Structure 1
Amino acid sequence: MISCSPAEPVVPKEGGGNRERGAAPRWILADFDDTLAPGDSHAGLLRYILRRRIWPLLLLPVIALGGVVYLVPSQRRRGISLIWWAITLGLSPLGWRKLVRAYCHTRPGLFREAHRLLEEEGHRCWVLSASPRALVRAQLALQRPANLPYRTIGSRMHYRLGGLMPRFYCHGQHKLLPEICALDTELALSDSLHDLPLLGLGEQGWLINPTPARLEKARARLPHLMVKNWQL
């Protein structure tokens, strides 16, 4: 039985065997940053915006406070909201879209194995990311315009008090939306220990490019995890 409650331990989903032809598809759940693509594009976008706007450095104490608050697990959304608000204060919607598009052209692209996965299985792949949904979709559209995943779910941004911040922060346990828990998931993949609840939904779980320490911690909770070393 799958646990979808933040207070319960992660329990891997038992295999359901082969499906009869014509049955509902079995799904793939994939993280984005450092899983399908190398690097943290979320943090990278924040740095990119800050370098191009410069003046929000005057709000460095607010940015630093946000970083400290973010380190408290129960306050991550508030911490990241402070950082986003300070860096984007006064940024217009048009300016926001332009910066996202420009930043995507600086990114290294997807791992080779991620290209192959989306080529073969994109029609049944859900991409879930803590990065803003607009950022993830823009990167996927740039890299694979003809083979987008079935659905992309990310943090939902909105304007408040003159700056952007997440209305919904799609991180860790918050990726376990009701529609995600209801899927018949064949495979889940991520690089992050924060995504162990997501990995537990899959009949198979892939941990992408783990360090030995991260692998040891992950397998202490999900012994069935498989290691995948992906490259550009």
Structure 2
Amino acid sequence: MSSAANKFIVFDFDHTLYDGDSGSHLYLWLIRRSVWRSLLALLILPIAAPLIAFMPTRRAGISAFVWVGSLGLHSIEQYNRRIDDYVLAHKADIDKRILPIAFRVLKTHLEAGDEVVIATGAPPELASAIFRFVEHTPVRVIGTVMKPFWGGMVAGEHCHFNNKMTMLRAAGFNREIDSAYSDSRADLPLLLAAKSPVVVNPNTRAVADFKRLLGAETPILNWGCKDRAGTPVA
């Protein structure tokens, strides 16, 4: 049980704790496991890829590639085992993408006794497995829930935009959010709900929107993503 005196902190994962899009890296690996998957992915690319660019259709676009990569997996348990296999096989690559500054900030919150949650558009098992690889202290992860569909997996409930807040509340996190950390305009509902939002590693073109919507005093930091904006943190 968390004490009401302790803060409630929410971290995004991709481009916040991890340099890159962890879900895309996983899905690409799943697809590249066989030639026929790669060819099928190329076949659906002209239709599925544009869907990812728009929030209302993003879940459908992502689901198409997840389905191609997961064909033959008939349960969440099987899918999660593939995720664990991926993390074990790519420890060196993942280690290079971990953002040490971000994990220091997260660990500071844990040491202060704060209630910390990672809320991510990636599958929760992926973020959990990577987190276990870096930090042995368990942290609750809320992420995109997969479901079986036609011999593979698709995104059932996408932990993204307004639905990220819905999923946090549905998981029992009904406290006021003290601080939220994210890189993405898609997390504006989360950042706006926090008493102290912190933007980290944003796209350069998103900075003006963050300042306008969150206030000019909102910290906009760079925690080690070289191709992203924000004030560098030593």
TM-score of Structure 1 vs Structure 2, range by shorter chain:
0.7 to 0.9
Contact 2:20 2:97 in 1 (8 A): no
Aligned positions of 1:142-153 closer than 5 A: 142-145=133-136, 147-149=137-139, 151-153=140-142
| Cα distance in 2 between the residues matched to 1:50 and 1:204 | 39
State the match for 2:7 in structure 1. Answer: 26
Question: How far does residue 158 in structure 1 lie from its aligned partner after superposition?
Answer: 2.2
SS in 2 for 1:131: coil
How many residues get paired?
209
Question: How far does residue 103 in structure 1 lie from its aligned partner after superposition?
Answer: 3.8
Identity %: 28
* Gapped regions of structure 1 (runs ≥ 5): 1-21
Q: Is 1:230 aligned to residue 223 of structure 2?
A: yes
Q: Is 1:71 aligned to residue 43 of structure 2?
A: no
SS in 2 for 1:136: helix
State the match for 1:164 in structure 2. Answer: 153
Contact 2:12 2:182 in 1 (8 A): yes
SS in 2 for 1:176: helix
SS in 2 for 1:159: strand
State the match for 1:12 in structure 2. Answer: none
| Cα distance in 2 between the residues matched to 1:23 and 1:84 | 39
State the match for 1:14 in structure 2. Answer: none
Q: Cα distance 1:69–1:42, how it changes in 2: closer, same or farther (>3 A)? A: same
SS in 1 for 2:119: strand
Once the two structures are superposed, what CA deviation does each residue of 1:165-210 show, in whole Å capped at 9, x if it has no partner? 1111111221012357732211111011111111111111111123
Contact 1:62 1:86 in 2 (8 A): no
| Cα distance in 2 between the residues matched to 1:153 and 1:104 | 22
Q: Is 1:174 aligned to residue 174 of structure 2?
A: no
TM-score by length of 2: 0.80
| Cα distance in 2 between the residues matched to 1:207 and 1:216 | 12
| Cα distance in 2 between the residues matched to 1:69 and 1:126 | 29
State the match for 1:112 in structure 2. Answer: 100
| Cα distance in 1 between the residues matched to 2:71 and 2:157 | 19
Instruction: Point out which structure has higher relative CO (alpha carbons under 8 A, 6+ apart).
Output: 1
Residue identity opposite 2:89 in structure 1: A
Residue identity opposite 2:150 in structure 1: L
Contact 2:67 2:154 in 1 (8 A): yes
* Gapped regions of structure 2 (runs ≥ 5): 226-234
Q: Cα distance 1:96–1:30, how it changes in 2: closer, same or farther (>3 A)? A: closer
| Cα distance in 1 between the residues matched to 2:161 and 2:91 | 24
Aligned positions of 1:64-213 closer than 5 A: 64-91=46-73, 93=78, 94-95=81-82, 97-107=84-94, 108-122=96-110, 123-145=114-136, 147-149=137-139, 151-177=140-166, 178-179=169-170, 182-213=174-205
Q: Is 1:218 aligned to residue 207 of structure 2?
A: no
How large is the RMSD of aligned CA atoms in angstroms?
A: 2.2
| Cα distance in 2 between the residues matched to 1:41 and 1:165 | 17
Contact 2:26 2:83 in 1 (8 A): no
